[in-house]
Chain A
């Protein structure tokens, strides 16, 4: 049972291994001629001023909220896509219509946000 998930674990191990190997190998094989100017933060930029803990605008919150909503929409589509052929064989065209209604209801929300300028950065 757990054996079925071995490919996923292999992918995870390869992904983590690749990330670690690239970072480590560039440290090992790359040339290192450090000086104090090079090691300073923002070597060729402005010196940071003040705290990083500034409050950000509520506009970002709208983006995050819309991202969650359409993420959940996609989550509902996965089981439907996997089972679509079986469902179509059993209950016919209504398997298609049920998902169509769901998507239309959500796209109404998308159109509303678009028309009200929710994607504009004012």
Chain B
């Protein structure tokens, strides 16, 4: 068994087990902590797929920043209210089950009915190198400059929006 397969098994076990633990915890804060562990496992899987920049971004942005926001939102909403909310509206549960079933069927289809390509096409071998930070830097600041600058304006809008929504008294 090669090292890659061994690492793949370790990282996928971390991701799957922490995901199961996340959805079965009754305390939402503990669920969020298991989600961080899940993100760490996913970062390892990205690394095995040669996407090093996405792996680092996963750790810095998702496990670092987004999870801080998740925890604040949990503390803001007081999750006990959420349970009563679901009891009061049982139709929402049917909706949730339907969406979960659709995603489950898609996974079944992908796992058992779609055929993986046998050999690597030239585009695919080229894409193996495109996960490095050098390749992303080269493309992002030449060919994809406009989306990059547009992302700057999107972040500016988010800054202003966050201030307007969360500040009580704006000077």
Contact = CB atoms under 8 A, between A and B. Distances in A.
B68 A67 contact: yes
A82 B133 contact: yes
A119 B77 CA distance: 23
Interface in A67-112: 67-69, 71-76, 78-80, 82-83, 86-87, 90-91, 95, 98-99, 101-102, 105-106, 108-110, 112
Contacts, number: 143
A1 B48 CA distance: 9
Interface residues of B, number: 51
A31 interface: no
Interface stretch (B16-24, B89-97, B107-115, B141-149): B141-149
Contact of B159 (A2, A69, A76, A83): A69
Main secondary structure of the interface of A (DSSP, over half): helix
B60 interface: yes
Interface of B: 3-4, 7, 47-48, 50, 53, 56-57, 60-61, 64-66, 68-69, 72-73, 75-80, 133-134, 136-138, 140-142, 145, 148-149, 151-153, 155-156, 158-160, 162-163, 166-171
24 contacts: A2-B3, A2-B4, A2-B7, A55-B75, A55-B77, A55-B78, A56-B72, A61-B166, A64-B72, A71-B60, A72-B61, A79-B137, A82-B133, A83-B137, A83-B138, A90-B142, A102-B151, A105-B156, A109-B155, A109-B159, A109-B160, A112-B159, A113-B163, A122-B169
